A and B are shown apart, each in its own frame.
Chain A
């Protein structure tokens, strides 16, 4: 199971990197989302996907899954959610003010 997850995470990272290297700002933001998805799945996979009950003591099971990575992922999800929403609003504002979403045109030192 870990093998398939690793392959899926690899695909997510590949797609993310490919999108980040493109010109359009929206595709770049999409790329960062793909990469953070990959990272969160990586956190989950790294704690071994052995079977066990959900980490609730009420389940009264023999064994439970590792609760720590789930807490880490939850933290990381809200952080990346905040950052992504900031990034999207920033991209919108930049589009309004600079009149382009093409990263090629957003470089250099002229006109400042």
Chain B
């Protein structure tokens, strides 16, 4: 029992409730949401410290021991993801101060952002499958409101599709929970794991596993990502950043959790399908990233590629690959947040989304240019930066599991990532200055510097994760250990 576990959830929740009452007072809203972001980082860091020193932390709600009550579990994976979420969330909140515009801020922008964080934190921490559904819904309903916030024509059009897809996948989620409850009679994840192991995972449980696979694949953008490129190009930069960095990753976390903790007995039935989906995701994402010539779409397809890549780590299911998947997941959350922030700044500075109308920005915006360049190298996995260690471990694990085809695909997809992003860099920053560059002056210099500073904060994290990979690996390795040995998790939850 450890009551601090509820802090990452309760801090944004209370903040959001307070912010609802301060609708017109924008400055106060900014101060409060910034302060709560910092408090959240501190709480998450403290939980990580506790998990590192004392092992897996659990919290039984109202003292009801599992499997009867709802339990919050922070193993190393959840603690790392909560800390990463707190960092990215705070960074996006601060970035919004100067970018989102007063009109949006007056209409409950900050409360919605905080509610989104509540859902994400809850999904990472919960140890109950129906509670996971509820946290998903908290996150998704806030994301519906955020994606249409401002109400431009493009946003209205895309959010209709986004909401429809998510209503369907949520309905399927409930159906899958119903089937699982019908077969096992349990909802607690650790208890489920025990019961599935006792019953032997065959026949009906494999079908249920496939249903969960479809649900989480829809949320994570694994193969069933058709909704993602359109939906993620509609909202403004700050919202898009938090979507790309957090929402699909929650789906990925759910995949990692269910297929290492509950359905890990029959690899030929479940993991081989996941393998095909991961391969197809990387290929289709790569085609999309190469085909488009506007910044948001290229970035969105890069999100898709990395989802396929992380699932490849899950499919190989050995220590190296799972370590790599965790490491790459953390890197990818921070890296994608940084990439989307800088991408949004490039669009704002150039005054256009289209690559063909940009050019020559390196003279007027050298810092933005070189920061973007370093980010691209980090995302592609060039050695001194953070993308390298995770990629190396995933690919090494893939070769050890004899997934040669997928390993080759994932190496090839890194080249595509590098090419597609460098193309943005070359088109936007090199060459002749285009006449559109007048857009620079529309934006105030101080705003530009402020936003650049937010990006620099994330960039420091990306570089530090790469240089200090050995140190980060100490944490990641422990997370991978829990994933590969579910007994550690089960013992921590069911026996105290």
Residues of A within 8 A of B (CB): 20, 25, 28, 32, 35-36, 38-40, 42-43, 45-48, 68-69, 72, 75-76, 79-80, 82-83, 86-87, 90-91, 93-94, 97-98, 103, 106, 111-112
A46 to B148, CA, bound (A): 36
Would A106 and B157 count as touching, CB distance under 8 A? yes
Contacts of B161 in A (CB 8 A): 106
Contacts of B137 in A (CB 8 A): 79, 83
Would B156 and A94 count as touching, CB distance under 8 A? yes
Give 7 pairs: A residue, B residue, CB < 8 Å, sorted on A. Answer: A28-B164, A76-B133, A76-B174, A79-B137, A87-B164, A94-B160, A97-B151
Would B153 and A39 count as touching, CB distance under 8 A? no
Query: Which of B134, B153, B175 makes the CB contact (< 8 A) with A42?
Result: B175
Interface of A is mostly: helix
Would B174 and A43 count as touching, CB distance under 8 A? yes
Would B178 and A46 count as touching, CB distance under 8 A? yes
Would A39 and B171 count as touching, CB distance under 8 A? yes
Chain B proximity of A22: nearest CB distance (Å): 12
A2 to B171, CA, bound (A): 20
Say whether, besides A75-B134, A87-B167, A106 and B160 are in contact (CB < 8 Å): yes
A112 to B233, CA, bound (A): 11
Would A93 and B130 count as touching, CB distance under 8 A? no
Query: Which of A79, A97, A112 makes the CB contact (< 8 A) with B134?
Result: A79
For the A-B complex with A46-B181, A103-B160 known, give 10 more contacts whose Cβ atoms are closer than 8 Å.
A32-B167, A36-B171, A43-B181, A47-B181, A79-B137, A83-B141, A97-B151, A98-B156, A106-B161, A111-B153
Chain B proximity of A55: nearest CB distance (Å): 15
Query: Which of B133, B148, B164 makes the CB contact (< 8 A) with A20?
Result: B164
Q: Taking the complex as formed, is B419 at the interface, i.e. its CB lies under 8 A from any CB of chain A?
A: no
Q: Which of chain B's residues has its CB closest to A87's CB?
A: B163
Would B156 and A39 count as touching, CB distance under 8 A? no
Would B157 and A98 count as touching, CB distance under 8 A? yes
Q: Taking the complex as formed, is B493 at the interface, i.e. its CB lies under 8 A from any CB of chain A?
A: no
* CB proximity to A under 8 Å, residues B98-150: 130, 133-134, 137, 141, 144-145, 148
Q: Taking the complex as formed, is B1 at the interface, i.e. its CB lies under 8 A from any CB of chain A?
A: no
Chain B proximity of A5: nearest CB distance (Å): 12
Q: Taking the complex as formed, is B487 at the interface, i.e. its CB lies under 8 A from any CB of chain A?
A: no
Contacts of B177 in A (CB 8 A): 43, 72
A93 to B144, CA, bound (A): 14
A40 to B141, CA, bound (A): 19
Contacts of A68 in B (CB 8 A): 181, 187
The 4 closest A-B pairs by CB, nearest first: A46-B182, A46-B178, A43-B178, A94-B156
Interface residues on B, range: 20 to 34
Would A86 and B163 count as touching, CB distance under 8 A? yes
Q: Taking the complex as formed, is B241 at the interface, i.e. its CB lies under 8 A from any CB of chain A?
A: no
Chain A proximity of B276: nearest CB distance (Å): 25
A64 to B335, CA, bound (A): 53
Would A46 and B179 count as touching, CB distance under 8 A? yes
Query: Which of B141, B148, B153, B164 makes the CB contact (< 8 A) with A82?
Result: B141
Would A90 and B148 count as touching, CB distance under 8 A? yes
A86 to B144, CA, bound (A): 9
A69 to B177, CA, bound (A): 10
What 1/0 mask marks residues of chain B from 167 to 196 whose CB sits below 8 Å from any chain A CB? 110110011011101100001000000000
Chain B proximity of A102: nearest CB distance (Å): 12
Chain B proximity of A105: nearest CB distance (Å): 10
Chain A proximity of B232: nearest CB distance (Å): 14
Would B153 and A35 count as touching, CB distance under 8 A? no
Q: Taking the complex as formed, is B96 at the interface, i.e. its CB lies under 8 A from any CB of chain A?
A: no
Contacts of B151 in A (CB 8 A): 93, 97
A5 to B153, CA, bound (A): 43
A32 to B144, CA, bound (A): 16
Contacts of B168 in A (CB 8 A): 20, 32, 35
A75 to B138, CA, bound (A): 12
Most buried by A among B160, B170, B187: B160
Would B141 and A35 count as touching, CB distance under 8 A? no
Contacts of A45 in B (CB 8 A): 178
A68 to B191, CA, bound (A): 16
Q: Which of chain B's residues has its CB closest to A2's CB?
A: B182
Contacts of B174 in A (CB 8 A): 39-40, 42-43, 72, 76
A40 to B164, CA, bound (A): 18
Q: Taking the complex as formed, is B159 at the interface, i.e. its CB lies under 8 A from any CB of chain A?
A: yes
Contacts of A106 in B (CB 8 A): 157, 160-161
Chain A proximity of B223: nearest CB distance (Å): 20
A7 to B300, CA, bound (A): 41
Contacts of A75 in B (CB 8 A): 130, 134
Q: Which of chain B's residues has its CB closest to A79's CB?
A: B137
Contacts of A112 in B (CB 8 A): 153-154
Q: Which of chain B's residues has its CB closest to A72's CB?
A: B130
Chain B proximity of A9: nearest CB distance (Å): 9
Chain A proximity of B129: nearest CB distance (Å): 10
Chain A proximity of B224: nearest CB distance (Å): 15
A79 to B139, CA, bound (A): 12
A111 to B156, CA, bound (A): 13
Contacts of B167 in A (CB 8 A): 32, 36, 80, 83, 87
